[in-house]
Structures are given as structure tokens and as C-alpha cells.
Amino acid sequence: MKIKETPLKDCYIIEPTIFEDERGYFFEKFNEKKFEELTGMNGHFVQDNISKSSYGVLRGVHLQKGEHAQAKLVSCLEGKVWDVAVDLREDSPTFGKWFGIELTPENKFQLYVPRGFGHGFSVLSETAIFSYKCDNFYHKDSEGSVIWNDTDLNIDWKLPVEAIILSEKDQSLPAFSERNF
């Protein structure tokens, strides 16, 4: 497992070491001990979530805040997504910055999104199955968010605007300037 830094403080790309032969392949998807040694971050996860979405679906930008904040380890199990992390920690040197990466089953990359970050993704393939490992349990009353098309953040979702499909909830999230995080 290789850990690569992103331009955002404490946000990491995890690239597996893949062993391939005529039978197929094997890789260690995650190793808590190695992750903690390489990053100094807690890598203990308590909840796994899976979502399936169609082309154009955009989920985000979401986070859990306060004592229910969550770090996430995300990957794409089927299809192709553009995954985005946004640093919403006001005391961070990368506050208000975002990073995006294409996640696919072929590249087998994972993105570690630390506590205090917003997260979202857009589906670039016909369908996608997306996996989220979380280090804290979901708590509805601790939700925070930023609208997907916030002009301060100016996130590129890699989709034409007319193709974007949003949930009713995601259509009316607050702006970055409203600090709902």
C-alpha cells in the first residue's frame, strides 16, 4: 500500500500494491496499522456504506460535524466517479480548497477524507457502485453541507451542468459563505 499526499492537508490517496498472475490479482485494500504509521492519522473504521447511482448523479457536498464528525475512506467498486474532498476546517492552511480524483475499479485508488472535510462525487459512467468506510457512526442531527455549485469553491464536477441529477435535499444546500459546517 502506497500513501500519496494530495494538495489538501491530511487528505490522502491510497494506492494498493497489486499482485497479478494468470489467475487474476490480489491486493490488500486497507491495513489500519500501515495507514497509521504512514499518515499519523487514525484508521479505525466502524461503519461501511454502499451507494449505487446512475450517470450524472451528483452526491454532495456533505459532512458530519461536531462529536459525530466522520473521516471516510472511499472507493469505487463499479463504474467511474469523480470524487471530491473539500477542506472545511477553518484552522487549516488548505481551508476552502478542494481536490478531485477519478476513482475506478481499474485504478483501485481510495481517497482518505479526514474529519472536518466535505465530500461529494459525480458519476461519470452509466452506473457506479461507491463504497464509504466511516470512522464514526452517522448522526442525522450532525449533518453539515455546502451547495454543489458554490461560486466560492468553484468545484469542477466533470459533468455538463444539464446532465447533473441532484436529490431534492442537495438542490437547496447552503453556500460556503453560510458556514453550515
Q: Which spans in the chain are helix H?
A: 32-39
* Contact criterion met (CB below 8 Å) for 53 and 59: yes
Helix/strand/coil (H/E/C) assignment for every residue in 135-164 = CCCCCHHHEEECCCCCCCCCCCCCCCHHHC
* Contact criterion met (CB below 8 Å) for 10 and 114: yes
- With the C-alpha atoms ordered 169, 173, 157, 87, is the resulting torsion angle positive or negative? negative
Domains and CATH numbers, the chain: 44-178 (2.60.120.10)
Position 68 scores a pLDDT of: 97
111/152 Cα distance (integer angstroms): 23
Three-state DSSP at 162 gives helix
Position 100 scores a pLDDT of: 98
Kindly list the catalytic residues. 62, 132
Position 42 scores a pLDDT of: 86
Q: Which three cell numbers stand for residue 47?
A: 461503519
Position 84 scores a pLDDT of: 98
Position 179 scores a pLDDT of: 92
pLDDT tens over the chain, length 181 residues: 899 999 999 999 999 999 999 999 999 999 999 999 999 888 899 999 999 999 999 999 999 999 999 999 999 999 999 999 999 999 999 999 999 999 999 999 999 999 999 999 999 999 999 999 999 999 999 999 999 999 999 999 999 999 999 999 999 999 999 998 8
User: 0.75 cut: is pTM over it?
Assistant: yes
* Residue in 33, 169, 41, 44 with CA at minimum distance from that of residue 116: 41
C-alpha torsion angle, residues 173, 143, 160, 7 (rounded to 10): 120
